[in-house]
Structure 1
């Protein structure tokens, strides 16, 4: 599944691929997701298409 333009690739993958969090126990947070929430998306954003509006 491709990440839509402007979305974070890691957030998109973690939200739509159940295999990633399967190894976590009940009420256990994903370290990658926690780090991402604290430190932001960084360079993980998928590039947006160039707007042809103007």
Structure 2
């Protein structure tokens, strides 16, 4: 298993996987032209399993 670190930390209110896949080119480097990322497709179908919590507003 290879663990990659996102180029930037995930901001509040965002899904860590979506943030990483949008901002780190290594996430999709093994895909061929026109090939869908299985993790991204799973997110499109099933939604986000975790969202970074936002700070409580005062």
> Which of 16, 28, 36 is residue 21 of structure 1 equivalent to?
28
Structure 1 or 2, whichever has the larger Rg, is: 1
1:51 paired with 2:57, answer yes
TM-score by length of 2: 0.83
Q: What is the alpha-carbon root mean square deviation over aligned residues?
A: 0.6
Q: Which runs of 4+ in 1 moved over 6 A?
A: none
1:17-51 deviation per Cα after TM superposition (whole angstroms, max 9, x unaligned): 00010110000000000001100002x20011111
**Aligned length, in residue pairs:** 51
TM-score by length of 1: 0.89
Question: Runs of 5+ in structure 1 lacking a partner?
Answer: none
Distance in 2 separating the partners of 1:29 and 1:22: 12
